[in-house]
Chain A
Amino acid sequence: MDMLIARNLSVSAALAERPVNVIENLDFSLAPGRILGLVGESGAGKSMIGRTVAQLLPPLFSVSQGELLFDGQNLVTMPADARRELLGRDIAFVPQEPMSGLNPVLTIGQQIDEHLARLQVGNRRTRHDRAVAMLDAVHLPRPAELLSKYPHQLSGGMCQRVLIAMAFASRPKLLVADEPTTALDVTIQARIVQLIAEMQRIDGTSVLFITHDLRLAAQICDEILVLYAGRVAEYGPAREVFARPRHPYTRCLQLSNPVMSGANRGLYTLPERMPGLQALSEMTGCAFASRCPVVREDCTTTPPPLVSLAPAHRAACRHSEATPGIVAPQPPVETAPSAAAPLLSVSNLGKTFRVGRGFFQHEDVAAVKSVNFDLNDNEFIGIVGESGSGKSTVARMLCGLETPTSGTIAVSGRDVTQGDTAARRHLRSYVQMVFQDPQSALNPRRRVGSIVTQSLEATGTGNHAARLARAQALIAEIGLPPEAAFRFPPQLSGGQRQRVNIARALCAEPRILIADEIVSGLDVSVQAQLLNLLLRLRRERGFAMLLISHDLSVVRYLCDRVLVMYRGEVVESGVTADVFDNPQHSYTKTLLAAVPPDDPATIWRPKTDSADGTLPVEDPA
Chain B
Amino acid sequence: MAPAPIAPLSCQGLGLDLAGNTVLDALDLTVHAGETLAIVGPNGSGKSSLLKLLAGLRKPTRGSVHLMGQPLAQVPRRQIAQALALVEQQADTLDAIRVFDAVALGRTPWLSALAPFCANDRAIVEQALADVDALHLRGRLWGALSGGERQRVHIARALAQQPRLLLLDEPTNHLDIQHQLSLLHQVQALQVTTVVALHDLNQALTCHRVAVLDKGRLVALGKPLEVLTPQRLLDTFGVHAHYLTDPYDGARILRFRAP
Asked if A pairs with B, the answer is no
